Structure 1
């Protein structure tokens, strides 16, 4: 693992410009929960990450559902859960609950419970639910250790970009998630499942750097900066722990643990091995596309597809069933 990298200094400077120096100063505390909360409490709109790009979202949809216009939640409701009713769903680490609020609009759900430790995000979600008159969704601001799991109660447990923030994934799944699911209950994930603490192997870092060079220089100017992105060295372990002690803390255990405790119903890898880091801090260039930008993204998409032929995906959408006893 790399303790400190050149990108640690670059990214700290950029975060100060993008999110303000108060955000950087919030990291200087010995309380792990406080540092984790500060990573998610910000109300600032960040347009520097790959998940902001509509064309990338279409790629994900295609890889998850075979339809670039259908997201995984629509696919889930129109296939796996199509004929179900009175469903109870638990979402852990739900953030602003945008995915859960979308699911709450389906009549199949009797109750959706969202749990997150960020007061700000939970309050925002509560406002949106009230605005949309959604009566079947509730919100709990809590650490998972303090949350009371109901045994044999939930039909679906959802982790959307949150499971990689939990320690001891195998214990969480076996001792908390399996018991709280009904006999036919489902685990649904849309997750980063790559190396712990984003400690990518050297071969992957080399490919990411090649991917960056596929993009014209004018599209590599970093968000809210005059600097250009010419290379990627990865995140140092020290910065990862300081910035957010929960970030990818046990992510490499996710797939082995799920396969150990659940039966696969649907499993759709959708890459991210190259795109996530190549497009970080420069994604704002690709929010609105023209022919040149589309061509550039197509080139790096093709480059990642070739990489995925020989390497496991860093991101997976999956649906898994509780095993029968």
Structure 2
């Protein structure tokens, strides 16, 4: 069921106005889709309280992706997938400030890493950071995906880190552009949200999220930078999502089936997010520094999500895939 507008839309708009300024809200009222998308990403130091800021959540994600809470997916990729390959060319689309790509650029395995992003502000920040780190094997391109010139049979790795769910017509992008620009031994690497389009979660998921939220004491439910208590989760309305960022989760549900149909899986690790992302949104700051009570609460939430995932597909996954071999009739 599609939700056009929800109570969360009103609360989120109010909080965004306080956190990022009302000029940011006003910037959304334009007919230009690309302008609204750019404004969503142009703030390089966004004020937020999302699930990924919690160290225990980061360790949990690492454990589910790599089997080691202290090993992130990029380190895993270099130790177990690309360890014996050299002179690699990597393309990252929707790279933002390129923090993940710069982490990879420190490895001698890469001849060239190419980062492409729509936001000039984020690209400028990335250029500055790369210079400060003396990284010479990484380049930055500010471009819309429709204008980027893909080179056939050129890249050994194409990376999407929380960016593929922002592209419309995922099937066309992966089959036409990504498949063609990869070398014969090329790899597609994703760390992505692959859940419902426009975050239109089913009713049973929203109920589960609220059941989990209700286990958290009120003292840990004050929303970031406000006095508003997070009593319930209603989900996102499509109208606000389109106004705020037309690219957000526009074709996310099509990511996994498209990859499975057109690439061979080397490794695929789902890591949840169905419950945690939505329960902890706006209240994650309470769980950055832990005491015994908060640690116990997080462990309960982790168990709650694991139980949910026993019967439901994960909304997030890390995967490494290779081009399918040409079939000769």
- TM-score interval for Structure 1 and Structure 2 normalised by the shorter chain: over 0.9
How big is each residue's C-alpha offset from its partner over 1:233-272, in whole Å with a ceiling of 9 and x where there is no partner? Answer: 0001100100000000000000000001100000000000
The structural deviation recorded for 1:19 is 1.2
Counterpart CA distance in 2 for 1:87 and 1:106 is 10
Q: Distance in 2 between matches of 1:313 and 1:247?
A: 18
Report Cα offsets for 1:196-252 as digits up to 9, x if no partner: 000000000000001111212111100000011010000011001000000000000
Structure 1 gaps, min length 5: none
The 2-side partners of 1:295 and 1:38 are apart by: 38
Once residues 5 and 289 of structure 2 are traced to their aligned partners in structure 1, the CA distance between those partners, rounded to angstroms, is: 35
* Residue 97 (str. 1) matches residue 87 (str. 2): no
Report the equivalent of 2:84. 83
1:300 corresponds in structure 2 to 301
| Corresponding residue for residue 204 of structure 2 | 203
Q: Which secondary structure does the structure 1 equivalent of 2:31 belong to?
A: coil
Give the alignment's TM-score, normalised by structure 1. Answer: 0.99
Residue aligning to 1:135? 136
2:287 maps to what in 1? 286
- In 2, Cα distance between equivalents of 1:279 and 1:156: 33
Cα offsets for 1:11-54 (capped at 9, x unmatched): 11111111111111110100000000000001344231111111
Measured after TM superposition, the shift of residue 141 of structure 1 is 0.1
Structure 2-normalised TM-score? 0.98
Q: Which residue of 2 aligns with 1:262?
A: 263
Query: 1:235 — aligned with what?
Result: 236
| Cross-structure match for 2:215 | 214
- 1:145 alignment partner, SS class: coil
- Structure 1 residue aligned with 2:227: 226
DSSP-derived class of the 1:159 partner: strand
| Contact 1:196/1:251, CA 8 A, preserved across alignment | yes
Structure 1: distance between partners of 2:300 and 2:20: 31
Give secondary structure in 1 for the equivalent of 2:111. Answer: strand
> Do the aligned residues in 2 keep the contact of 1:197 with 1:237 (CA within 8 Å)?
yes
Alignment partners' CA distance in 2, 1:190 and 1:226: 34
Residues 1:146 and 2:159 are matched in the alignment: no
Alignment of 1:36-51 (within 5 A): 36-51=37-52
Q: Residue in 2 aligned with 1:73?
A: 74
**1:119 equivalent in alignment to 2:120:** yes
2:66 corresponds to 1:62? no
- Quick one: distance in 2 between partners of 1:158 and 1:318? 10
Superposition deviation, residue 321 in structure 1: 0.4
Alignment-derived partner of residue 156 in structure 1: 157
User: What number of residue pairs does the alignment pair up?
Assistant: 325
The CA deviation string for residues 52-71 of structure 1, in whole angstroms up to 9 with x for no partner, is: 11110000000000100000
What is aligned with 1:17? Answer: 18
CA RMSD for the aligned pairs?
Answer: 0.7
CA distance in 2, matches of 1:52, 1:37: 23
Cα-to-partner distance string for 1:244-301 (whole Å, 9 max, x where unaligned): 0000000000000000110000000000000111000001111111111111111111
Match of 2:272 in 1: 271
**Distance in 2 between residues matched to 1:125 and 1:292, nearest whole Å:** 39
